[in-house]
Amino acid sequence: MNIEHSIKVDAPSQLVWDVTKNVEEWPAWAPNITSLKKVDSTPLSAGSEVLIKQPMQSEAKWEVTSFDEGEGFSWKTSKPGLTMVATHTVSQMEGYTLNTLTLEASGYIISLFGFLLKPLFRKALSDENNGLKVYCEQLSEDNQ
């Protein structure tokens, strides 16, 4: 199952990227993140591990699998019967920043319950993107 959600953000792409890669601050603006903690104190990069707690879910360890400074990163988590890869991409467009979230989910859980989970995953991506938009636009406005 693949789901994608993009949103226009009226803020500089560098600002959106800085907010995106500062994952430990996500609970301040992402309604679908209860808590988030990096396992080590180094800057986010390929190989980084992050513990994420989301509403009505157990804590999950996500490992950054790719990291392109200023552009985006992907991370992956697995539980019995379910593997998820999430990608965060920041693109500078003319007059705005496009933030794209992508989720690839696979495993027997998806085979059995994907039709129930897809709307929930789609809402989570939308909620996260909308939270990012509001937060970055407010920061951009405050910095003018």
Side chain identity, residue 93: M
Query: Which of 16, 23, 46 minimizes the C-alpha distance to 132?
Result: 16
The residues of the chain scoring below 70 in pLDDT are 144
Give Cα 11 distance to the centre of its chain: 18
CA nearest neighbour of 109 among 82, 86, 84, 85: 82
Instruction: Please give the pLDDT value at position 57.
Output: 87
**What are the structural domain ranges in the chain?**
2-142
Residues whose CB is less than 8 angstroms from the CB of residue 99 and which lie 6 or more positions away in sequence, other chains included? 6, 7, 9, 16, 20, 88, 89, 90, 91, 129, 132, 133
Residue-level pLDDT at 12: 96
- Token pair belonging to 94: 């003319």
CATH architecture for the domain at 2-142: 2-Layer Sandwich (3.30)
Q: Would you give the DSSP letter of residue 55?
A: T
Indicate the pTM of the whole model: 0.94
pLDDT at residue 144 in the model: 66
